[in-house]
């Protein structure tokens, strides 16, 4: 018996010693990595600083107007003497945070950056090809186990030997899907099989193969969706003339296909050809528009500050279909215009409708706050936060909606926190923000990305999306030396109030913001440059 106890104690001591050794090794590695991360000196005496920008379409799209390109110019114009900045745009349209983390090692090996910036998470749960169940909240014993380095070492070795080769499993899964769609196209020749296969290729950054599939479909069966999807592919690659050509082909051949109008309008707004947008909206409505098209027309007028035209378009949409979406949008606009009674009638009608989302409750709560009915506003926001937190992600094919997106529960939480602050209850305000959990997929992938970037690079700039509060990101990422944040909430809200929504965004893909125009990219670039210069180089941007 004593031998058994001695053996158990010996094993325990050995495991503890190994755990301590692994942690000390990690500390030594991080310190050595900091030394390796010292900025290299060029032959002319200047130090070269390479910045790697990671993200999805919010980062990738825009060519020379995209924020990474503008960031390089700003840093080189305003950075410390003797430093030369090179900014690499490694963003890819349409990907989610899992793809960014999956490809992180490859990007770090390829570019060997001195600083990494990242803006990700908006696509998580939207058209994702990963298993979202893996991001469900794990039991506490599992989370504690994952903090033990001995366990993680054993798990790593198991993965190395192929016992848990998740990467290979996912690759096999994608290969099987590709074969199935190829087989279906050969057997049935249905257009939707080609559309989905092209989307699968785009998600894997196999754009040439996606283009080939769509061109073959257009030659065999020229449907509107193929032209529109090919236009989006070209637009993501900054082949804007080709994109416009296919959008116009879809419009000319299929007059009733409204998404092609919307995508072309979005492209023209990005190109600054605003004088061509109004005739397109007229053509869209003449083609037999549905309620959704009138809502998009209303959004366009509202973004330009033409509120009377916006209201008329919203009213027309409501005549065709009295949906919670149109009621909420018009109610929100009337609230901003100070027409409280009309706004309240529309928002209460929206909340009572089947299919009403959290946003209807949030807008009605805003109205209640304006009219000092704080208790009712609080009840509405508690319901909205719970509804947003527990609702399933929306899986919507792009041709049905260009801005459908699960509502971020933090939008409700922030409004509720404002009520508590107004009441002087700061503790409740803090608790309500802490209670709303971030998207588990985004949370998990940010944790992985931070660990990997800090181990290899040592400097990470985390960028929040336009108009969104910074609190969710800071809740996901513990305070850590070398990690800095870029806040894009206040500057964008002020710019929208000053210049109008359409001056900064070309669509509403994330509900409260969209893909940015050149001016929007400039705001992100300036904010990011300001943080990099101040936090990492102890200087300021004029």
Q: At what angle do helices 324-336 and 340-352 cross, to 10 degrees?
A: 160
What would the two tokens of residue 279 be? 């005739």
How far apart are alpha carbons 110 and 130 in whole angstroms?
25
What local confidence, expressed as pLDDT, does residue 282 receive?
Answer: 84
How far apart are alpha carbons 293 and 30 in whole angstroms?
54
CA distances from 386 to 380, 383, 467 (A): 10, 5, 22
At residue 323's C-alpha, the angle toward residues 318 and 328, to 5°, is: 90
What local confidence, expressed as pLDDT, does residue 112 receive?
Answer: 95
Residues 6+ apart with CB under 8 A from 292: 258, 317, 325, 401
For 47-137+440-537, CATH gives: 3.40.50.1110
What local confidence, expressed as pLDDT, does residue 104 receive?
Answer: 94
Locus of tokens 């549905």? 290
What is the model's pTM? Answer: 0.65
Q: What is the pLDDT along the chain (542 residues), one digit of tens a residue?
A: 666 676 676 666 666 666 666 556 545 544 543 444 444 444 455 689 999 999 998 998 888 899 999 999 999 999 998 899 999 999 988 788 888 998 999 999 999 999 999 999 888 754 444 444 444 455 666 556 655 655 655 654 554 455 445 556 667 767 888 888 888 888 888 888 898 899 888 877 788 999 999 999 999 988 898 999 999 899 888 889 999 999 999 998 887 788 888 889 888 888 888 889 888 888 888 877 788 888 888 988 888 888 999 999 999 999 999 988 899 999 999 998 999 999 999 999 999 987 777 888 888 988 988 888 888 888 887 787 676 555 443 333 333 333 334 445 556 666 777 777 777 777 777 766 665 555 667 878 888 899 999 999 999 999 999 998 887 788 778 778 899 999 999 999 899 888 888 889 988 777 778 889 999 999 999 999 999 999 999 888 87
What local confidence, expressed as pLDDT, does residue 404 receive?
Answer: 37
511: left (phi over 0), alpha (psi -120 to 50) or beta: left
What local confidence, expressed as pLDDT, does residue 154 receive?
Answer: 62
Nearest residue to 466 via CA among 51, 52, 54, 59: 59
What local confidence, expressed as pLDDT, does residue 409 receive?
Answer: 55
How far apart are alpha carbons 100 and 55 in whole angstroms?
7
What local confidence, expressed as pLDDT, does residue 255 receive?
Answer: 78
């Amino acid at each position: 018996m004593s031998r058994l106890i001695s053996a158990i104690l010996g094993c325990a001591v050995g495991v503890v010693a190994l755990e301590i050794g692994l942690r000390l090794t990690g500390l030594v590695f991080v310190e050595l990595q900091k030394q390796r991360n010292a900025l290299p000196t060029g032959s002319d005496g200047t130090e070269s600083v390479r910045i790697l920008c990671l993200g999805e379409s919010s980062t990738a799209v825009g060519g020379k107007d995209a924020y990474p390109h503008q960031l390089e110019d700003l840093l080189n114009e305003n950075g410390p003497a003797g430093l030369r900045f090179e900014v690499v745009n490694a963003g890819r349209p349409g990907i989610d945070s899992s793809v960014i983390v999956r490809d992180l090692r490859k990007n770090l090996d390829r570019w060997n950056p001195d600083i990494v910036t990242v803006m990700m998470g908006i696509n998580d749960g939207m058209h994702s090809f990963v298993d979202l169940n893996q991001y469900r909240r794990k039991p506490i014993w599992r989370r504690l186990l994952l903090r033990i380095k001995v366990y993680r070492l054993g798990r790593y070795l198991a993965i190395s030997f192929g016992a848990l080769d998740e990467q290979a499993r996912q690759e096999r899964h994608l290969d099987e899907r590709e074969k199935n769609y190829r087989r279906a196209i050969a057997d049935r020749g249905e257009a939707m099989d080609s559309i989905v296969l092209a989307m699968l290729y785009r998600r894997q950054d196999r754009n040439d193969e996606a283009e080939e599939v769509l061109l073959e479909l257009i030659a065999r069966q020229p449907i509107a969706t193929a032209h529109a999807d090919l236009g989006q592919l070209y637009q993501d690659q900054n082949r804007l003339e080709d994109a416009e050509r296919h959008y116009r082909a879809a419009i000319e051949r299929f007059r009733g296909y409204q998404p092609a109008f919307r995508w072309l309008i979005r492209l023209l707004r990005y190109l600054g050809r605003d004088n061509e947008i109004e005739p397109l909206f007229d053509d869209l409505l003449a083609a037999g528009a549905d309620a959704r098209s009138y809502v998009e027309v209303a959004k366009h007028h509202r973004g330009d500050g033409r509120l009377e035209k916006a209201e008329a378009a919203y009213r027309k949409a409501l005549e065709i279909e009295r949906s919670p979406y149109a009621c909420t949008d018009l109610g929100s606009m009337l609230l901003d215009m100070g027409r409280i009674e009309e706004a309240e009638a529309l928002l209460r009608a929206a909340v009572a409708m089947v299919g009403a989302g959290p946003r209807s409750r949030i807008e009605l709560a805003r109205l209640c706050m304006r009219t000092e009915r704080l208790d009712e506003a609080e009840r509405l926001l508690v319901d909205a936060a719970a509804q947003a937190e527990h609702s399933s992600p929306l899986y919507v094919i792009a041709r049905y909606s260009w801005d459908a997106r699960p509502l971020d529960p933090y939008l409700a939480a922030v409004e509720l926190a404002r009520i508590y602050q107004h009441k002087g209850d700061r503790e409740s305000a803090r608790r309500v923000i802490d209670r709303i959990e971030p998207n588990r997929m985004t949370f998990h992938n940010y944790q992985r990305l931070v660990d990997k970037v800090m181990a290899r690079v040592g400097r990470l700039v985390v960028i929040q999306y336009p108009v969104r509060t910074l609190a969710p990101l800071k809740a996901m990422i513990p305070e850590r030396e070398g990690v800095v944040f870029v806040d894009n909430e206040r500057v964008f809200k002020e710019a929208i109030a000053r210049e109008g929504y359409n001056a900064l965004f070309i669509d509403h893909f994330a509900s409260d913001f969209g893909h940015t125009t050149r001016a929007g990219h400039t705001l992100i670039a300036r904010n990011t440059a300001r943080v990099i210069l101040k936090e990492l180089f102890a200087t300021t941007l004029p």
